[in-house]
Amino acid sequence: MNRATSEVLYVNGPVQNGDFTLAERPGKATGIRLAEALNALLGVAPVPHLWNTVTLHGDVRHRRAADRGMLGRTQREAQAVAAKYAPGPAPAGGLRTDADPQVASLALKMTRALLDDGTLAVRDMPVRLCARCGHLAGPGTTGDCRACGYTVARTARRPLLVCDRTTHPAVLDRDDVHATGARTPAHLLHIARNVPEVLVLSRTRDHGVSLEELGLEGMVLDPRAGLHVAVLAAAAERGAVRPVMTVTETAAAHVAAYGAPFRQFGAMRLRYALHGKVDYGAAAGGRLYEVHQAQALREVFTGWYLPLCAARERSGVSAARLPALLKFLRRAHLARPPAPQSDLLTELRHRVAAGDMRWVMDARMLACALASRENPRAAAFEKGAF
C-alpha cells in the first residue's frame, strides 16, 4: 500500500456510554462499523472502539449506585462499556475511553502546548455555581442543577480554561471534512461557527482528564475537546498521521468548535468523516430479506453495507431506501470475483483513503470490496495492493 493510504486511519467518534446495548440500539454503532469497514478495505488491523465516559449522566449514575463504595467510577464505566457488546464478543481491536491514561497524558501535553502558544488561556471568569454541590452551569442554562437537582445557584468567579475566538477564530472549514466528490456541508459549517466568542474548555465533572495540574481544582477537560484527543491517542499508537473521526453531522456541529484547538498535534491532523443515521428498525424486519431472497446477506447488509451507505448518504438512510440498497448489494454479491483484482483494489483503496464514498453505488467497486472482505489474505497479497 502506498504511503498516502497507509497514513489514513478511521476511528469512531467516541460513543456516549449510556444505558443501552448495541443489540438494542444498533444505530449507535454505525460510526464504529463504518470505521471498521473502511480500515479493513485499507488493510489496516482493527482499531479500538472509542467510548465517551466523561458525562454528567455518568456522574449521576455513579453517585446513585448502591455499590458505589465497592465499585470505583473507572470500573463502573468499563463494565458498562463491556456490557454494550453482550451477548457477542468484545471487539478485536479492544476498547478505549476518553478518560484512559494515554488520553489524559496526551491531553495535558497538548493543553500545555496550547497555553504556551496563546491558543488557550486560564482566565478568572464570572460563573454560576450550584449552591449545594458546586456544579458549574453551562452558558445560558437555567433551572435546577443538572448534577444534583438543587434549586439554588450562586454567582462567583473562578479560573477557567478558555479559547478566545476573537484571537483564534477558526472553528471548522471545508478542509476539515474528509470527503472527495461530496457536497460541502454548508449548514454544518454555519452551525459549528455559531458559538460564543470565548469558549470554556473546563468543566466540573467527577471523572475525566483532570486539570488540577494547571491550577484548575475540581475541573476536567471539556469532553467535547477530549473526544478529539481520544482519536489522536488511538492514531498515535498506530503511527497514523491522518486520523479520521467518523461522526454524524449533528454530533460534529456540537463538538467541532470545542475540539478545534485539539485537532492537530505534531504531524497528526484530525479530520471528520461525516455519516448519516440508518433506520435499523426497518432493516431488522425479516420480510425485507424474504422478498429479495437475501437472507444470507442480512448481516453483511446491516453490519457492513448500510454503514458504508450512511457515509455516502449523509442525510440518512431511510426505510424507503432499504429495498433498493439490498437489491444492489445482492447483485454485486452475485458478481463478486473469488479474489479482488489488483488494479481495481488499488483504485478502491485510493478512494477509501481519500474519503470518496461514491464507490458504494459502483457495482464493480462494490463487488471488489465484497471479495476483499471475504478473502482478506488474497487482498493482502494482490500485486500492487501494498
Does pLDDT of 166 surpass 90?
no
Distance (Å, rounded) from C-alpha 263 to C-alpha 116? 17
Among positive and negative, which fits the CA dihedral 145, 148, 154, 160?
Answer: negative
- Model confidence pLDDT, tens digit, residues 35-92: 999 999 999 999 999 999 999 999 999 999 999 999 999 999 999 999 999 888 999 9
- Average pLDDT for residues 275-282, to the nearest whole number? 96
Q: Beta-carbon neighbour count of residue 153 at 10 Å?
A: 19
The answer to whether 10 touches 37, Cβ cutoff 8 Å, is no
- Give me the percent of the chain exceeding a pLDDT of 90: 77
Distance, CA of 26 to CA of 317 (rounded, Å): 14
**CATH assignment of 104-221?**
2.170.220.10
Look at residue 382 in the predicted model and tell me its pLDDT.
55
| Alpha helix (H) residue ranges in 239-305 | 249-259, 280-283, 286-291, 298-300
Contact of 344 with 369, CB cutoff 8 Å: no
Q: Where in the chain is the domain with CATH 3.40.50?
A: 7-97+227-275
Q: Is the pTM of this model over 0.85?
A: yes
Torsion of CA 73, 75, 76, 80, to 10 degrees: 140
In the prediction, which pLDDT does 167 show?
80
pLDDT score at 138:
76
For residue 384, what pLDDT is reported?
42
Long-range contacts of 319-324 (CB under 8 A, 24+ apart): 319/279, 319/281, 319/282, 319/283, 322/279, 322/282, 322/283, 322/288, 323/288, 323/291, 323/292
Is pLDDT above 50 for 383? no
The CA R_g of the chain, rounded to the nearest whole Å, is 22
Where does the pLDDT of residue 381 fall: very low under 50, low under 70, confident under 90, or very high at 90 and above? low
Fold type of domain 7-97+227-275: Rossmann fold (3.40.50)
According to the model, what pLDDT value does residue 164 have? Answer: 93
* Number of Cβ atoms within 10 Å of the Cβ of 136: 20
Per the prediction, the chain carries an average pLDDT of 92
| Backbone angles phi and psi of 42, in degrees to 5 | -80, -5
Region 234-240 average pLDDT: 96
Q: Which residues in the chain are classed under CATH 2.170.220.10?
A: 104-221
